[in-house]
Structure 1
């Protein structure tokens, strides 16, 4: 029985563009980058959007929550679709259809329309799952953790690059005579158009597996069973390890999303920084994805070679616990210099934990990689949703109390009191979240593999057979 495993890349050779796995790696990474760029593209313009649409504080928080809520459902669905139709078609349609709410966001006239667009824009966050599935199909077990982590990390850069890119697009638009107050609208239209074009690139320049596309392989008489897909998906749902990884990813990627979305204001309120300075620090945090997530995948692969699948789990538990400790410590500091150092360490560990998570995912159920990736990926957005709710509830109560207590004071003192209250509330929220992350790191140790699973030689294994790989009939 022949498989396409022999065609999988055993090295991440970034400049071998003739290689199908390498070409797929670059296209899927760039597509993921553009999805994240568009997903968070509105963030730099929120002051303009608030003024233009008259958003209330609750509506601003709700837009953040809706943006990550839509992704939960999309990620749960897209993994199964990848198992059935292949990542090429799934990514093509996600990019083409996902461009619609991005463009529509630039055309909204009411807060309700804006909130609806934010909900549906969140669907393009499912691009992460397809990226992980596609790289898992293209790279051999000895390098799959590094490939997954690098493609995801470079894609995640889109969530930070928009802080530079979207204002540059807005400046270009203004140079053509568009009013400053309306530039955010045109910028969203541009971002959506680029996503649409990437969908066409994905369709014409990638394929599902090293051997070809699912449709062509079926037409050639090769067998891709659907019964096993159903059994695999059922097994995934019942496998406790999937749900532990769901929680693990909630505790790393979910927390990164939440911290990334709230850190600007926290730094300003806590250390009295200017908005530009705080924004640049957060941008640096996001840019660490260039290497930090790759490190997590690399060390996951390394511990896998040394200690087998259990080694991958041990490293994941260690780095996740360290992430929680960094966040807890950061939440208690009042020194700006110490705070920045701790934030750097938190950024490093949270992104390494994300890479380490997806160095384990491909080995949970090799017959349903898409389904496992979808469920685990959705966990990240569930974590972001719950963490945002916690911070919103604590911050709202504290700010309202500060407003009441500062009545009669001049505006500067009232704003200072409100900022201090918000800082203390978010700080306590970070502390709670960090403690939960540490507990989740300990929970990760419960992930076990059977003797048969542990016997897999992940250095140069040629028998690693994901369900998405077509199998020729004997």
Structure 2
């Protein structure tokens, strides 16, 4: 049974509920994000042994391709949040999935460095899918579960990065084994697999979701967020809040690092431990697999802390896990034995995902009216971080191991910035009042369920019969 508040937001997450619009949106949003993430990083595990030899790319060019694909997402995320506010998350996701399908499939036609770079720029746009996922779940779920709802959809979507590292080499190998293409050109046909599935999900998203619990913005214009006459635009309102930019930097520390590791970990294991393309991709799957529960855990803990410690409790959790992430990255960077490297990578991944979940448990409360703009700006921070990490690697000439060591200190330092995020007494009071209303609503539901159960029991007993 799905509990719904008076504004039709869900107060519970029932994973086996496929009938309510809230849970249909929950499932389709993470599936769509999973596929976008899969397509976005589909080139990474094939780069060193397949794509680079086929196109005769230098090491610097492969890094530039990564920077291009991640960097363009900065602008895409800033724009897509605003687009969600204007036309709704449903249309925004469908349009993005269709564009992404053509971009991923189209990359197979690249024959020169220039055309390949353009194709990676186009593919990078689909990284904006994260913002739509967070926006859509935020409008569908109540504050008591918004942290875990956002974290779970994003976490399961991020899993696409780990899965693509493990499966794309297998798909490419299968293409070559069946004689459909030469080994070095097998990547071209492999790109059609994620593209085709993205088109299918675009159709499902259009048919089975709505912009908000009550329907679509085109039918319910009063539900669409908009600034009043004489007020700053929603984007400018969000951009003028320093808390948004602190979260921007903190997300650069967690999601930015995840993007960098997802894009470079396969190469790292191939170079440092002499693993094959397939073996390295399988190892990196463990990094992405933590998304199954770790990001949800971050959101869940933040929701629990908020119940007793308010909005500032959410922020404290975020600070703790980002600092822990930096320390875990330092440990990973110093591992020279394969088994220890994998174990420490998984430990590091745990805190990366928890930090991401905790970040987006705070985002919906910064400015509810400008939710799309706030989500877009903070989400773009992750890509800015990834670009800066890649630029450092490119310009410093450092090894990946040395870069990871340096980044550990950077991430830990960024974690302390969260201490500057404060909520006003009015914000805290509003959150407390909303929490009380939710608790009263849940209590009334339980009371009604108990009454109904007693009635059923009375009816089953029936009248007494004399023997």
The reply to whether TM is greater than 0.5 is: yes
64-73 vs 338-347, greater mean Cα deviation? 338-347
Q: Deviations over 1:125-159 (max 9, x none)?
A: 00000000000010000001100000001001111
Equivalent residue number for residue 425 of structure 2: 451
In structure 2, distance between residues paired with 1:351 and 1:16 = 25
Equivalent residue number for residue 445 of structure 2: none
Equivalent residue number for residue 379 of structure 2: 377
230-239 vs 125-134, greater mean Cα deviation? 230-239
Q: In the alignment, is the contact (CA less than 8 A) between 1:4 and 1:210 conserved in 2?
A: no
Deviation of residue 52 (structure 1)?
1.6
* Structure 2 stretches lacking a partner, 5+ long: 440-467
Deviation of residue 330 (structure 1)?
2.4
* Structure 1 stretches lacking a partner, 5+ long: 399-424, 464-474
- Root-mean-square deviation (CA), in Å? 2.1
Q: Deviations over 1:227-262 (max 9, x none)?
A: 348543222111000000000000000011112222
Change (3 A) 1:382 1:179: same
In structure 2, distance between residues paired with 1:430 and 1:332 = 9
In structure 2, distance between residues paired with 1:67 and 1:461 = 44
Equivalent residue number for residue 442 of structure 2: none
Equivalent residue number for residue 360 of structure 2: 358
Equivalent residue number for residue 189 of structure 1: 192
- Alignment of 1:256 with 2:230, yes or no, is no
Change (3 A) 1:109 1:274: closer
Aligned 1:269-348 pairs, distance under 5 A: 269-273=271-275, 275-348=277-350
Q: In the alignment, is the contact (CA less than 8 A) between 1:34 and 1:158 conserved in 2?
A: yes
Q: Deviations over 1:60-86 (max 9, x none)?
A: 111111110111110000001111111
Equivalent residue number for residue 13 of structure 2: 12
Change (3 A) 1:169 1:230: farther
Q: Deviations over 1:289-312 (max 9, x none)?
A: 111111111111111112000000
* SS class of match (1:216): coil
Deviation of residue 54 (structure 1)?
1.3
Equivalent residue number for residue 34 of structure 2: 33
Deviation of residue 17 (structure 1)?
0.9
322-331 vs 115-124, greater mean Cα deviation? 322-331
In structure 2, distance between residues paired with 1:225 and 1:253 = 27
- Alignment of 1:435 with 2:409, yes or no, is yes
Change (3 A) 1:156 1:460: farther
Q: In the alignment, is the contact (CA less than 8 A) between 2:5 and 2:11 conserved in 1?
A: no
- Alignment of 1:45 with 2:40, yes or no, is no
- Match among 194, 199, 206 for residue 203 of structure 1: 206
May I ask how many residue pairs the two structures share in their alignment?
A: 430
Q: Deviations over 1:188-231 (max 9, x none)?
A: 1232222222222211111001100000113xxx4646334854
Deviation of residue 268 (structure 1)?
4.3
TM-score by length of 1: 0.86
Equivalent residue number for residue 450 of structure 2: none
Aligned 1:165-184 pairs, distance under 5 A: 165-171=167-173, 173-174=175-176, 177-181=179-183, 182-184=185-187
- Match among 266, 269, 274 for residue 267 of structure 1: 269
Equivalent residue number for residue 404 of structure 1: none
* SS class of match (1:12): coil
Aligned 1:90-129 pairs, distance under 5 A: 90-129=92-131
Q: In the alignment, is the contact (CA less than 8 A) between 2:226 and 2:369 conserved in 1?
A: no
286-295 vs 429-438, greater mean Cα deviation? 429-438
Change (3 A) 1:123 1:6: same
Deviation of residue 108 (structure 1)?
1.5
- Alignment of 1:131 with 2:133, yes or no, is yes
Change (3 A) 1:270 1:187: closer
Deviation of residue 393 (structure 1)?
2.3
- Match among 163, 166, 174 for residue 164 of structure 1: 166
Change (3 A) 1:92 1:205: same
Q: In the alignment, is the contact (CA less than 8 A) between 2:10 and 2:142 conserved in 1?
A: yes
* SS class of match (1:6): coil
Deviation of residue 272 (structure 1)?
4.9
In structure 1, distance between residues paired with 2:271 and 2:417 = 34
In structure 2, distance between residues paired with 1:11 and 1:216 = 27
In structure 2, distance between residues paired with 1:214 and 1:27 = 19
